[in-house]
Structure 1
Amino acid sequence: MKVPFFVAICLLFVFASCSEYQRVLRKDDVAKKYAMADSLYRLGKYKKSLKLMEQIVPAYRGKPQAERLMFIYANTYYELEDFYLAGYQFERFTQAYPQSDSAEVAAFKSAKSFYELSPRYSLDQKETDKGLEKLQEFINQYPNSAKRPHANELVAELRYKLEKKQFEVAKQYLRVEDYKAAIEAFDNFILDNPGSEFRAEAFFRRFESAYELAIVSIPSLVQERLLTAKGYYNNFTKYYKDTEFAAEAEKIMQDINARTVTTETEPTT
């Protein structure tokens, strides 16, 4: 079977290119490595380009080509979605070249790399905190940047994730019937997150937790804790009486009133 002429030419070109790449990779000619790394980077062949850059980055420190090399080195990690190294290398770039024309882009991509490392809300949120810190640093440093709206969107996403984490921890205390811990956790959530979309439910769940704590308490503590629950109900209705939790809150409150009246009308001995 004959290979078409055009296909044969393409195959020869590919083999020749691969062979040339391997030769440059093995040799000690730093200039050729730089030229080929730059060419491969422009073509989007990041893995091959990275292998060459890893060999020459130390040799170019302090030289005129270092600024561009360090930027594309960091951006190669970014394009390959190795966000841990991308964030680190972009951070190094901004520290080494704060006056560079690429400093703003590098600062944003460094911050976004840490954003990309943020895990789902149920896991440890150390990387989320780091991402928020870096994004806020970018916003503060470049307040007029065209990338600021996008940075603000990323900040909002990460803050939502932290809110979700804190809120779900509080709900878990309620689910496992650790009502004291639930009340404290919902208290902290309400204080920490004044604009959260979970705030209405947090007010309601705090009230629910206080009610549950009251009805499982020893008799001498029931009335005091029912009064505390009433206070939480009043706080809920003050701000969120028209929410989806209102009907359930009212039902609980009717039971609290019934329990309070029953106790108050019992004959004393």
Structure 2
Amino acid sequence: MRIKSVYFLLLALVLSSCNEYNKILKSTDRNLKYTYAKKYFEEGKYSRSITLLEELVAFMKGTSEAEESLYLLAQSHYNSRDYISSTQVFTTYYTTYPNGTYAEPAMFYSAYGMYLDSPDARLDQTKTYTAIAEFQKYIERYPQTERSEQAKGYLFELQEKLAYKELMSARLYLNLGNYMGNNYESAVITAREAMKIYPYSKYLEEYQITILRARYEYAQRSTLKTQPERYRMVVDEFFNYTNTFPEGKYTKEAEEYYREAQKKIEVLPTI
């Protein structure tokens, strides 16, 4: 009996809440709606606050509640984990009110939402690029804030994700080999470009060894006529690797490529 009583009490509360919300939706009193929008926001009922605020924001323009209503709408989307919508509204806020009360957090959360929504490196990185652009704007505008240091950390993390994506692309080209073209050269180009774009990445050694592997594999699969030149390229890349990473974790592997390349260079011209 006690369980049934609790159930009916909860049901009554839910129905009462729904009835209240429906009345507010139908109301023509915008001040009342705004009061409830804030109330629902405080209660964590973000879908309700979003519905009310999306109606009210347009009418709030030019009033004392204009800034707050727009910021609340952005925060409601953010707290609902709809980061695309929250970034759009946060951006609208700090563009409309560049010196507004909430301009600094709006600019930060427009970036942070996209950071949270940034997908695995294997997927499309549009959101990652958006987050990077937003963090860069934030750091430029607010270089001395506490959140600026956080933004720098998140920015570097996102750049590392893009750097890893380029590494995966270079490795894919390497694995494809001569399939439908010279993918070894594509692996080299991709890795080199990544090194230019991300010069401080933790994947620099991975890029360099990928280049060396690609040069070696390509030389092995080349014609006798072209092998000497291509094995010399292997030697060049060996020195690039060892000069940059004198105690690199792939040193033994690199030395094997070098020894094999040297043998071929000595023998092939006599063929």
TM-score of the superposed pair, with normalisation by structure 1: 0.91
**Equivalent-residue separation in structure 2 for 1:120 and 1:13 (angstroms):** 42
Local SS of the residue matching 1:147: helix
Give the partner amino acid of 1:185: T
Q: Which runs of 4+ in 1 moved over 6 A?
A: 2-10
Distance 1:147 1:65 in 2: 26
Q: Cα distance, 1:90 vs. partner?
A: 0.6
> Normalization by structure 2: what TM-score?
0.91
Alignment of 1:159-178 (within 5 A): 159-177=159-177, 178=183
Helix, strand or coil at the partner of 2:225: helix
| Counterparts of 2:229 and 2:27, CA distance in 1 | 82
1:55 aligns with 2:60: no
* Residues 119-161 of structure 1: CA deviation (Å, up to 9, x unaligned): 2111222221121111010001001111112111110111011
Quick one: distance in 2 between partners of 1:106 and 1:61?
18
Residue number in structure 2 paired with 1:197: 202
Alpha-carbon displacement from aligned partner over 1:23-58 (angstroms, at most 9, x marks no partner):
111122212111111111112211122222222222
Mapped partners of 1:18, 1:35: distance in 2: 17
- Within 2, Cα distance between the matches of 1:159 and 1:228? 30
Structure 1 pair 2–222 and aligned structure 2 pair: CA distance change class (3 A)? closer
Percent of aligned positions with the same letter in both sequences? 26
Partner of 1:67: 67
Partner SS, residue 220 of structure 1: coil
* Runs of 5+ unmatched residues, structure 1: none
SS at match of 2:194: helix
1:149 maps to which residue? 149
> Structure 1 residues 258, 51: closer, same or farther in 2, change over 3 A?
same
Which secondary structure does the structure 1 equivalent of 2:226 belong to?
helix
Displacement of 1:63 after TM fit? 1.2
Q: What is the CA distance between 1:2 and its match in structure 2?
A: 6.9
Q: Describe the shift of the 1:11–1:175 C-alpha distance in structure 2 as closer, same or farther (beyond 3 A).
A: closer
Alignment of 1:197-216 (within 5 A): 197-216=202-221
Separation in structure 2 between the aligned mates of residue 3 and residue 198 of structure 1, nearest angstrom: 59
- In structure 1, the partner of 2:263 is 258
User: Aligned pair count?
Assistant: 266
Higher-Rg structure is: 1
Question: Match for residue 180 of structure 2?
Answer: none
Partners of 2:246 and 2:236 in 1: how far apart?
14
Cα distance change on mapping 1:223 and 1:25 into 2, 3 Å: same
Q: Which moved more, 1:7-16 or 1:161-170?
A: 7-16
Question: Quick one: structure 1 residues 51 and 233, their matched pair in 2 at CA, closer, same or farther if it must change by over 3 Å?
Answer: same
Where does 1:12-31 land on structure 2 (aligned, <5 Å)? Answer: 12-31=12-31
Q: Which residue of 2 aligns with 1:236?
A: 241
Q: CA–CA distance in 2 between the matches of 1:3 and 1:142?
A: 55
Structure 2 partner of 1:42: 42
Q: CA–CA distance in 1 between the matches of 2:10 and 2:207?
A: 65
The residue number in structure 2 matching 1:128 is 128
Shift of residue 8, structure 1, vs aligned partner: 6.9
| Distance of 1:49 and 1:19 partners within structure 2 | 16
CA distance in 2, matches of 1:117, 1:9: 39
- Cα 1:215–1:60 change in 2 (3 A) is same
